[in-house]
Amino acid sequence: MVLSSRLGFGAVTAVAMSLGAATVGSAFGPTNPFQTGIALRFAELPALSQGTLRFALLGASVTVWIVYTLAMTRRDDVKPEVSVTISPATPRDFLLLAIAVIPFVPYVFGVLKFDWGFNELSALFLIAGLIIGVVSGLSLSGSAAAFLKGMETMLAASLYIGVARAISVVLTDGRVIDTILHGFAVPLSQTSGPTAALLMIPFQALLHVAVPSVSGQAVLTMPVMAPLSDLLGISRDAAVIAYQTGAGLGDMMIPTSGALLAILAGAQVSFGRWMRFAAPGAALVAIVGIVGTLLAA
């Protein structure tokens, strides 16, 4: 937000540079273990299957999003309300930055060796936050108080995340997702191969509203879509790319995504205002995914 403001842009551009870019990179990232990796594994495909095509899709999709963001920045009328004085960095600032980054090292090791998740990541950053407070000159009590004070700004975002998660839990535990998946899969089996491959994209996008977790959706849909692809005479890679396009890009638009609602709340951008910006851009990026799906089919 501060960077966007000092560059003369608004809050929507700040969200586009962060959330939008991260969503596009996550959707088409060939090495993303939480999306592409899981989808390929459940589709019984090797890692980096059709790697050349996947890296080309990543480059093309990121380029399209950058061009679209630059073209739309002047229409961004939501100016961020930030007032921050930026001073030259000191050696202590670099030390604090290092402390903030260090938790990623044990976390990556823990993910690879001990199947760590977000709970362990939160614990690492909690410890790092307290250390940062002490290094900054606060006592342990002062660091804890500052930590709690900082959490106040995220209370509304946490509420959004909780509500969005509740919707997903109800649909999953009530087996409603299974019914939705069956209802989508049966019509696909009655179409031609290339048509079915393309229809998988909106199918994955619609399903993502009910299943806001991309990794969970990969586990849910790939065991169905992969054999269906075999029956339709298209490659399993096409089904994976269709999933990446539909579910991946949906991360920046679905109202059941707690992370999206939290980011918009922090940026003081309404969901409707963001949708007016993101929907056309996501549609342009989806064209890249459509081409990739057809090439892989």
Alpha-carbon span 222 to 285, nearest angstrom: 22
pLDDT at 75: 62
Kindly report, residue by residue over 162-206, the tens digit of the pLDDT: 666 676 677 667 777 667 667 766 777 777 778 888 888 998 998
pLDDT confidence of residue 81 = 59
* CA pair distance 96, 136, nearest whole angstrom: 8
In angstroms, rounded to a whole number, what is the distance separating the alpha carbons of residues 35 and 244?
7
Straight-line distance from the first to the last Cα atom of the chain, in angstroms, rounded to the nearest whole number: 41
The dihedral region occupied by 270, where left means phi > 0, alpha psi between -120 and 50, and beta the remainder, is beta
Q: Which of 216, 6, 34 minimizes the C-alpha distance to 208?
A: 216
Return the amino acid letter for 97. Answer: L
How far is 177 from 168, CA to CA, in rounded Å? 9
Q: List the one residue out of 53, 92, 74 whose CA is nearest residue 295.
A: 53
CA 217 to chain centre: 13
Residue among 207, 280, 211 at smallest CA distance from 12 = 280
Q: Which residues of the chain have pLDDT under 70?
A: 74-86, 153-154, 156-158, 160-165, 167-168, 171-172, 177-178, 180-181, 184-185
Q: Tally DSSP H helices, then E strands, for the chain.
A: 17, 0
Rounded CA-CA distance 197/291 in Å is 11
